[in-house]
Structure 1
Amino acid sequence: MINPLVLKLEHHDVLSSEEKRVLESMISRMREFRADEDIVSQGSRLTESNLLLEGFAARYKILMNGRRQITALHVIGDFVDLHSHLLKKLDHGVIALTPCQVAVVSHDNIRRITESHPHLTRLLWLSTLIDSATHREWLVAMGRRSALGHFAHLICELFLRLQAVQRTDGYSFQLPLTQAELGDTLGISTVHVNRVVQELRTDRLITWQGDVVTILDWNRLIQVADFDPTYLYLEREPR
C-alpha cells in the first residue's frame, strides 16, 4: 500500500527495513475521492496529511474573479500536503483531478517519526524541499518560457516523476487531464493548449491517444523544453 512512497524516497537514498516498516505502519485510514472533489479545502485546519496512492491531484488557488490557477500537480507517491503538519492551516486547496485513492497519515504519527527516526525525517523533509524546487521551476516556466516550451517542460517533468514510481511504459505514460485543466496549469486558454499539443504532434515530438502520452524523441523534446532535471534531485546519495 505504501510502495509508491518507498519507491520515491529510494530514488534519493537507501531505506532500511525498519524505515520501510515505519512508513507502512503510519497510515491511519484510507479515503477515496471523486474527480473534481477537494482532498483539502483552502483555509481548512488540518490534523492529518494525505499520501496519494492512485490518481492525479493538484494544488490550486482561486482568484477573486473565479478563475483558477493550478500551482502543482501531484502523482502517485506524493504527499499532497505534508507541509500542513507544521502550517496547520493551508492557503490553497488540493483537488482530485481524477478518481483518487489516498492514505491518511495523522500529524501525531508524523511527529513521532520526527522524534524517533531522524534519517526518515530528513527524507520526508527533502520531499518538501523538492516541492519548493519544483515551484521555482514552474515560476520560471510561467514567466520566461513560451507556451510550447512550458508544456514540453511539463511533459518531461511528469515523465521522470512517474518513471520514479514505476508508472511509465517505455516512453509512454498516462496523462488523464483535460485541456481546461492543462490551461489552468500553464496559465493559457484551452484554445492555446490545443495549438501547443498540435504543434508537438506535428513536430513528431509526442503522440497523445486517449489519456496516454508517448514521447517520440526525448532528446529533441528536452531541447524544446530547455529541460534540466536537476531540480527533481533523483540521484541516490546519503542524506
Structure 2
Amino acid sequence: MNEPIEAKGISHCSVFDSEKSWYDLLSDDEKILIDKHSVSINFKKGETVCKRGAFASHIYYMEDGLVKVYLEEKNKNLILMLAIRNNLLGMAAIFDGNDKLPYSVTAYTDSRIRMIDINVFRQILKQNADFSFHVINLLNEKTAQIYGRFFSLTQKQLHGRLADILLCLANRIFQSNSFELPLSRADLGDLTGMSTESVIRMMKEFKDDGLIGMHCKSIELLDIARLERISEFG
C-alpha cells in the first residue's frame, strides 16, 4: 500500500513543493546570469549547509534532498520547517540593512543544493516583476507555514503534534502513506517539541491503537481519518 494521500490545509512541517519553477520565470539573459554566478554542491546526510549568524552571501536552491531549517541556541534547536526540492532558502536575509543569515540549515538526507550569489538574486528581483511576485508568494507561504508550526507547538497536546508531523511527512515530503523515515526519534522530538522518550512512547501508543504500522525505519499510516481528527483537535 503505497498510494499518495491528499494534502489538507497548511503543512505544519514542510514548505510546499511548488509545481512552477522560479527558473522558468527568468529571461534567457537572466538564466545565463544565474548559471554564471551559481554552483551546485552535494551535501551528505548530517552536513551543515549554512549557519545562523554567518554572512549571507548566497541564496540556496534545493535541487534534491531533504533539509531542516532551524534556530539553535546552546543545546536546543527549534525546527522552523523542512524543505524539499524546488525550494529557495536564505531569502529572509535579502532585506535592506541585513547581511546575516537568520537560521541554520542542515541536510537530513544526501542533498544537492545550488548556491546563487545573493547580489545577482537581488538584481533580478528588481528587474523581473513576475519573478519578484513568485518570490513574494513563496515568502508568504513560508510565513503561513511557520504560523501553523507555532500554533501546533504551543496549543496542541502531544498526540496532536505527533499526528501533525506524521501527516506532513506523508503529504508533503514522501507523498505516500508508507515511507522510510530518515529522521531519528530525537529529530522527531525537535520537530514536535517533545523529549525523545515522549516520541517513543507516543509512537508506541499510535501503533498499539492501529493508527500506524512500524518496522525498523519503515512507517505506514494505517488510519488517515483518525490521524487527521487527532491533528485537528490536538
Q: TM-score range by the shorter chain?
A: 0.7 to 0.9
Determine if the alignment matches structure 1 residue 74 to structure 2 residue 71: no
Tell me which residue corresponds to 1:224: 230
How many residue pairs match? The answer is: 212
The answer to whether the 8 Å contact 1:47/1:85 transfers is no
Deviations 1:109-168 (A, max 9, x none): 322332333122212221111111111111111111111110111222233323xxxx43
Q: Report deviation, 1:212.
A: 4.0
Query: Aligned runs of 1:95-114 on 2, under 5 Å?
Result: 95-114=106-125
Q: Report deviation, 1:24.
A: 6.6
Aligned partner of 1:58: which letter?
K
The answer to whether the 8 Å contact 1:48/1:85 transfers is no
Do the aligned partners of residues 175 and 82 (structure 1) sit closer, same or farther apart at CA in structure 2, a change above 3 Å counting?
farther
Determine if the alignment matches structure 1 residue 116 to structure 2 residue 127: yes
RMSD over aligned Cα atoms: 2.7
In 1, Cα distance between equivalents of 2:91 and 2:135: 8
Tell me which residue corresponds to 2:39: 29
The answer to whether the 8 Å contact 1:59/1:70 transfers is yes
Do the aligned partners of residues 16 and 187 (structure 1) sit closer, same or farther apart at CA in structure 2, a change above 3 Å counting?
closer
In 2, Cα distance between equivalents of 1:204 and 1:98: 29
Q: Report deviation, 1:82.
A: 2.3
Determine if the alignment matches structure 1 residue 196 to structure 2 residue 206: no
In 1, Cα distance between equivalents of 2:21 and 2:105: 28
Do the aligned partners of residues 16 and 122 (structure 1) sit closer, same or farther apart at CA in structure 2, a change above 3 Å counting?
closer
Which has the larger displacement, 153-162 or 203-212? 203-212
Which of 42, 59, 63 is the equivalent residue of 2:73?
Answer: 63
Tell me which residue corresponds to 2:186: 180
In 1, Cα distance between equivalents of 2:77 and 2:51: 14
In 1, Cα distance between equivalents of 2:22 and 2:90: 24
Aligned partner of 2:147: which letter?
R
Tell me which residue corresponds to 1:51: 61
In 2, Cα distance between equivalents of 1:74 and 1:16: 16
In 2, Cα distance between equivalents of 1:21 and 1:159: 36
Tell me which residue corresponds to 1:235: none
Q: Report deviation, 1:102.
A: 0.7
Deviations 1:47-106 (A, max 9, x none): 211122222211222324x22232222222222322223343123211112222111122
Do the aligned partners of residues 144 and 109 (structure 1) sit closer, same or farther apart at CA in structure 2, a change above 3 Å counting?
same
SS at match of 1:83: helix
SS at match of 1:43: coil
In 1, Cα distance between equivalents of 2:22 and 2:71: 38
Tell me which residue corresponds to 2:170: 159
In 1, Cα distance between equivalents of 2:67 and 2:135: 19
* Structure 2, gaps ≥5 residues long: 1-15
Tell me which residue corresponds to 1:230: none
Do the aligned partners of residues 30 and 211 (structure 1) sit closer, same or farther apart at CA in structure 2, a change above 3 Å counting?
farther
* Structure 1, gaps ≥5 residues long: 1-6, 228-239
In 2, Cα distance between equivalents of 1:168 and 1:175: 13
Aligned partner of 2:182: which letter?
P
The answer to whether the 8 Å contact 1:176/1:212 transfers is no
SS at match of 1:88: coil
In 2, Cα distance between equivalents of 1:20 and 1:172: 37
Which has the larger displacement, 131-140 or 110-119? 110-119
SS at match of 2:88: coil
